[in-house]
Amino acid sequence: PRLANQIAAGEVVERPASVVKELVENSLDAGANRIELDIEKGGHKRIKLRDNGSGIAKHELELALSRHATSKISTLDDLEQILSLGFRGEALASISAVSRLTLTSKPAAQEQAWQACCEGRDMAVQVQPAAHPDGTTIDVMDIFYNTPARRKFLRTEKTEYQHIEEVIKRIALSRPDVTFVLRHNGKVTKRFAGSNDLAVRVGQVCGQKFVQQAIHTQCDYASIKLEAWLGDARQLRSSNDCQYSFVNGRGMRDKLILHALRQAYDSVLGSAEQPAFVVYLTIDPREVDVNVHPAKHEVRFQQGRLVHDFICKTVCDALSESSD
C-alpha cells in the first residue's frame, strides 16, 4: 500500500503549499477556529499545523493515516451537497507516504492525548501517549525525502513559502471567523485575528488601503448572491496581484467568473486597468457542481450564462456608479 500511497501522493501533494491546503481544510472540517502554522525553510524542512478542532480519537488515529478513510461522507446525499471541504479520504495517507509525519491529537472527551507516526520499512503505525491540549497537531518533516524525483521539482524556500502564504490568504478570506497565525523560520509572518466582519478580514489579507479604497458592493438575484470588493492594483501594498473569488465559501479560479469580472472592468475602466478584487458568490448548492476540477478550482454552473451576466452586470454597475 505504501507504493500506492506514493502514487496517489503525486495527485494530492504537489508541493509544500498543497500539504498546507489539505491540512488547513481538515482543521476547518474539524471545527477549529484557531489554526497555527510553523513553516521551516519554505516547508522543505517542516510544515507543522496546530488546531483547536474536535480532534481524532485514539482508535481512529491509525485509520486517519490510511487511504479512503474519510469520516465525512456517509450517504450519497452528502455527495450531492458537499459542505465539508475534504471528501476524498486520502490526503493524510498521501502526505505521510512522502514525508515523516506525526499526528498528535486529543478530543475534548478523551482524557489523554495520543500520537501516531509511521515507522520502519513497512511504515507500521505506532501509537503512544503524548501531551497535547484539545485539538490536533500534524507535523510534516522532510517532504519528498523518499521521492527524489519529486524533490527536484521543489523551488527555492522563498518561492515555496510564497505559495504557502497564498494558500493561507485565500483560505483566510473564506473564513473570517477563524484566527490564523503563520510563522516562517520562527518568525510570525501573518497574523489574522478572527472576527465576524468580512471587511476586517479583507483588510488583513489585502491591506487597509485596498479595503478603504475598493468599491464594496452587494447584490441578490433569485438564488444568487454576490458580495465584492472591487479595486485596482494601485491600491495594493505590494506588487502581488489580488484576485480572489469564492463560490459558496470555496476558493475558485473559475474561468466563467474571471471572464465576467474582466469584461466588466474592461467595459467600464478600459483594459489598461489591472483589476484587484475579492468576490464572494453564494448560490444554491444544487445549481453548481464543485467536483468538476477540485484541484483546478473550477466549478460548473447549471445556468452558466445567467451567473456570468449577473456578475458582469453587478460589477459594471458598481464600477460605473463610482466613476461617475
For the bound state, the minimum distance from the C-beta of residue 3 to ligand ADP, rounded and expressed in Å, comes to 18
- The yes or no reply on residue 53 touching ligand ADP (CB under 6 A) is yes
Contact window for ligand ADP (CB under 6 A) among 67-75, 126-134, 178-186, 242-250: 67-75
Hey, what's the cell of 173? 478570506
From the centroid of its chain, how far is CA 133?
24
Contact window for ligand ADP (CB under 6 A) among 80-88, 119-127, 171-179, 275-283: 80-88
Which of 64, 140, 279, 290 is in the footprint of ligand ADP by CB under 6 A?
Answer: 64
Which of 5, 52, 70, 115 is in the footprint of ligand ADP by CB under 6 A?
Answer: 70
Closest CB to ligand ADP among residues 18, 245:
18
Residue 189 contacts which entry, ligand ADP, Mg ion, none (Cβ below 5-8 A, type-dependent): none
Closest CB to Mg ion among residues 88, 216:
88
Which of 5, 18, 52, 54 is in the footprint of ligand ADP by CB under 6 A?
Answer: 54
What residues have CB less than 8 Å from 39, skipping those under 6 apart? 16, 20, 46, 47, 48, 161, 164, 182, 183, 184, 185
Quick one: CA dihedral 290, 291, 297, 303, positive or negative? negative
Q: Which amino acid is at 195?
A: S
Across the beta sheet with 135-141, the strand order is: 124-130, 113-119, 100-106, 135-141, 46-51, 34-40, 179-184, 187-192
Across the beta sheet with 250-252, the strand order is: 215-221, 224-232, 275-283, 243-247, 250-252
- Residue 175 has a CB neighbour count (10 Å cut-off) of 18
Per-residue binding string, ligand ADP, 119-138, x by CB under 6 A, is -----------------x--
Closest CB to ligand ADP among residues 103, 311:
103
Closest CB to ligand ADP among residues 97, 164:
97
- Separation in Å, CA 271 to CA 18, 73, 255, 264, 319: 33, 45, 18, 10, 14
Contact window for ligand ADP (CB under 6 A) among 83-91, 166-174, 281-289, 303-311: 83-91
Residue 248 contacts which entry, Mg ion, ligand ADP, none (Cβ below 5-8 A, type-dependent): none
Mode of pairing for the β-strands spanning 298-301 and 288-293: antiparallel
Distance (Å, whole) CA 35 – CA 300: 31
Chain position carrying cell 489591472: 274
Angle at 78 between CA 75 and CA 82, to 5 degrees: 155
- The yes or no reply on residue 319 touching Mg ion (CB under 5 A) is no
Closest CB to ligand ADP among residues 78, 220:
78
Considering only residues 75 through 104, tell me which ones interact with Mg ion, judged by CB under 5 A.
86, 91
Under DSSP, is residue 146 helix (H, G, I), strand (E, B) or coil? coil
Total residues binding ligand ADP (CB under 6 A):
23
- The yes or no reply on residue 55 touching ligand ADP (CB under 6 A) is yes
For the bound state, the minimum distance from the C-beta of residue 83 to ligand ADP, rounded and expressed in Å, comes to 13
For the bound state, the minimum distance from the C-beta of residue 294 to ligand ADP, rounded and expressed in Å, comes to 11
- Separation in Å, CA 131 to CA 112, 137, 180: 7, 11, 23
Residue 117 dihedral angles phi and psi, to the nearest 5°: -145, 160
Contact window for ligand ADP (CB under 6 A) among 22-30, 182-190, 200-208, 312-320: 22-30
Q: Which residues bind ligand ADP (CB under 6 A)?
A: 22, 26-27, 30, 51, 53-56, 64, 69-72, 86-93, 136
| Site for Mg ion, rule CB under 5 A | 26, 86, 91
